Amino acid sequence: MVEIKAQMTTLDYFAPLIVFVLFFLIIFIISATCILWCCIGKEDEQTVFSKAKKEDSEGFFLHRKCPFRSFQQNYVYYGIPVDQIEICFVFLIAYAMRNNMSYFKETEIISYYPGGRPPTDEEVYFQSFKFPVTFEEVAPITDVDLCAVEPYRCAVSCSTKVQLYDCKAMQQTQTLGNFRRTAYGGSFRNDGRLLVAGGEDKKVKVFNLDTLSISRCFEGHTCSVRACKFTSTGYKVVSFSDDATIKLWDLGSESLCRDFLSHKDGIRCGVCRDENFIISGSYDHTVCLWDNRQQNPVMQLEHSFPIESVALHINDSMLLTAGGTVVTVWDLVAGKVLAKLSQHHKTITCVRFCTSYKRILSGSLDRHIKVYDLNSFSNVHSIEYPSPILSFDIKSDDRYLVVGMNSGLVSFKERKAKAKTVSKKSRKLQMRKFDVVVPRDERQWLPKHDFMLKTFEHRAALDYVIKPSQSNKKPEVAVSIFLELIRRGALIKALRKRPEVELMPILKFINKFLNNVRFTEILLTVVEKLLDIYGPAMLELSENVRHEFKKMKHFMNAEAQQLKKIACATGTLSVVLALAREKPGESKMEIECTIEGSNITGNLHSVDQYLNLKLNDVSISDPEKYPHLVSVKNCFIRGSVVRYVHLPADEVDTQLLQDATRKEHMLSRK
């Protein structure tokens, strides 16, 4: 072997020493530069001392004297005496670190809710879906059905096919196209392996979803089959047809078990919880409850409208029927109506339970899905869609919502998954009791207007947010900056001494958004400051600026007149409300007040208690004392006499009107 010996040069010996010397030389240069910058450059000694004193209160320095340029030991740093050079060096590093790591509170942008109120829990809940995924088919969507087990699939019946969609992937997966005419009522079996569908070809077809082939085909109806359902056992199929018949089919023998004959018109919907318990809804306005062991229906309910959809509660004690513009809630145990829900103005096409059977959903041709609370039966939310809704389905846990529309659109909505909370594991470090762990501070990124406010550039911040490109998109940001300037007391400073180019955007913004009730209160304060600043020199301003102030004045005058009319109407209505609060009776009568040609109608509980008008006309006993009651007329409603009072808007005296009414009441009793 050949041994190679490397000869070490002189540079190899002194390389670590050279690096060490260069390192300390760089530190010395930086320290000297910082000291000179502090003592000679941008700040004088009083400024530096004031900052040192300020840091003193936060635990950085403890000072006794301030001969800043002397080199005596006059400072104590955490109990250790150091000279002035070391103090300056430590102070500058600490001050720079504190400035870099300082936190600036961002301007709180005013948030406004639609309608001027915070959203309810139901609105927040139903708005927590992801952005909808929409597919377009070639024909109206007749039926939508969701599979209750994995893989979560959706059957969409339209035209001459039934499309299968994967709800997780939000994409079309399979097509069942063995129909000659329009397909109706595609529905999954409980295990998700079979699907049954009817159609205008009068056949009931059962598909095997593994092979996409027809397993069974039942023939026997004479009209279109509108709905098909599997029984809970999955061995039988129930079909509902326009020939007013219901047929129960056996899958094993591919034969008809029995017919249910009672309806007089086409059957469009049905529910089959068990083969011995079937519910059908027909266009003859009735709902029939069938027992397979009996020939006739065990219960028949009248809905008063052609029935489009039915839904059964999980405990089989509550039934929903939808038809016309009404959803009727039935108590099947007592056989009576619990509530009638009428929030749609067009035909309701579909109704479902949701949220683990705690809420009711109804879809209509008016393009809305209404949400009702099952306890109070009140409308708590509304979801709007671009086209009339023909069918929809939702899982019981509200994970997926699929809506089919008349225009051929299919909308898929998936609920946002809750963020998983990850617990922070404690670090297993070899630490002593007096060791301190300093967390790493991330750099704060501020919006441009907040960055300007941080450096006290109030005028620049206001100019930035008031630009049309910014204020038209988010006017609440500009209003929030106005509010922040008011809080800082810098609004006048930011508004004064502005040329026309800088003043015009502010005036245009105010004139545009002053009528917005969300911003009126804050913008009125800004208007007051503008008038205080530019009002005395209004004639010296340009024509464009004066024109904007004139527009502001016209708006104020119109708003004042409107408020005056509202106050007059409020005073008149307070009389009616005051009378109605005395003692509520049984009858509800109507009083009508005319204010400047506008009729305002309200209900009173009892004519005897509130207006004391019996069968004869009662006039004012002393018309000179009560000039505000111009005329008194009679209006016959349900056989009773109700007073019609005409009140001029400029002469409304609530107290005098109440006195006159009470006096009439006493005279009539006498």
C-alpha distance from residue 551 to each of 468, 511, 514, 554 (Å):
19, 7, 11, 5
Q: What confidence score (pLDDT) does residue 207 get?
A: 94
Q: Average pLDDT over the chain, rounded to whole?
A: 76
The token duo for 259 is 């017919």
462 versus 112: the higher-pLDDT residue is: 462
3-state secondary structure of 223: coil
Peptide bond into 67 cis (omega under 30): no
Could you tell me the sign of the dihedral formed by the alpha carbons of 594, 597, 600, 601, in that order? positive
pLDDT digits (tens, 9 = 90+) for 216-259: 999 999 999 999 999 988 899 999 999 999 999 999 888 999 99
- Picking from 413, 528, 327, the residue whose alpha carbon sits closest to that of residue 127 is 413
- Answer whether 300's CB lies under 8 Å from 307's CB: no
User: Radius of gyration of the chain from Cα atoms?
Assistant: 40
Return the bridge partners of 80, or none: 77
- Answer whether 153's CB lies under 8 Å from 167's CB: yes
pLDDT digits (tens, 9 = 90+) for 253-298: 889 999 999 899 999 999 988 778 999 999 999 999 999 888 889 9
- Picking from 270, 273, 182, the residue whose alpha carbon sits closest to that of residue 223 is 182
Q: Alpha-carbon distance 412 to 418, whole Å?
A: 19
With residue 255 as reference, give the H or E element that holds it.
Answer: strand 255-261
pLDDT at position 586 over 60: no
3-state secondary structure of 549: helix
Q: Alpha-carbon distance 147 to 402, whole Å?
A: 12
Q: Alpha-carbon distance 135 to 170, whole Å?
A: 9
C-alpha distance from residue 290 to each of 73, 209, 224, 225, 610 (Å):
103, 30, 21, 19, 53
- What global pTM score does this model have? 0.58
3-state secondary structure of 11: helix
- Picking from 628, 617, 630, the residue whose alpha carbon sits closest to that of residue 659 is 628
- Picking from 651, 669, 670, the residue whose alpha carbon sits closest to that of residue 611 is 669
Residue with tokens 């000291």: 35
Long-range contact set of residues 115-122: C-beta below 8 Å, sequence gap at least 24: 116/517, 116/518, 120/380, 120/381, 122/359, 122/371, 122/373, 122/380, 122/381
Q: What phi and psi, each to the nearest 5 degrees, are found at residue 60?
A: -95, -40
Q: What confidence score (pLDDT) does residue 112 get?
A: 66
- Answer whether 348's CB lies under 8 Å from 388's CB: no
- Picking from 597, 600, 592, the residue whose alpha carbon sits closest to that of residue 569 is 600
- Answer whether 410's CB lies under 8 Å from 392's CB: no
Q: Alpha-carbon distance 42 to 174, whole Å?
A: 75
650 versus 148: the higher-pLDDT residue is: 148
pLDDT digits (tens, 9 = 90+) for 369-405: 999 999 999 999 999 999 999 999 998 788 999 999 9
- Answer whether 528's CB lies under 8 Å from 555's CB: no
- Picking from 538, 459, 447, the residue whose alpha carbon sits closest to that of residue 493 is 459
| 433 confidence band (pLDDT: 50, 70, 90) | low
pLDDT digits (tens, 9 = 90+) for 174-205: 999 889 899 999 999 999 999 999 999 999 99
pLDDT digits (tens, 9 = 90+) for 21-76: 777 778 778 777 766 555 544 444 444 444 444 444 433 333 333 333 333 334 44
Angle CA 364–367–370, to nearest 5: 60
Q: What confidence score (pLDDT) does residue 634 get?
A: 33
Q: What confidence score (pLDDT) does residue 292 get?
A: 87
- Picking from 375, 372, 332, 377, the residue whose alpha carbon sits closest to that of residue 352 is 372
Q: How many CB atoms lie within 10 A of CB 496?
A: 13
Q: Alpha-carbon distance 50 to 262, whole Å?
A: 97
Residue with tokens 């800082």: 488
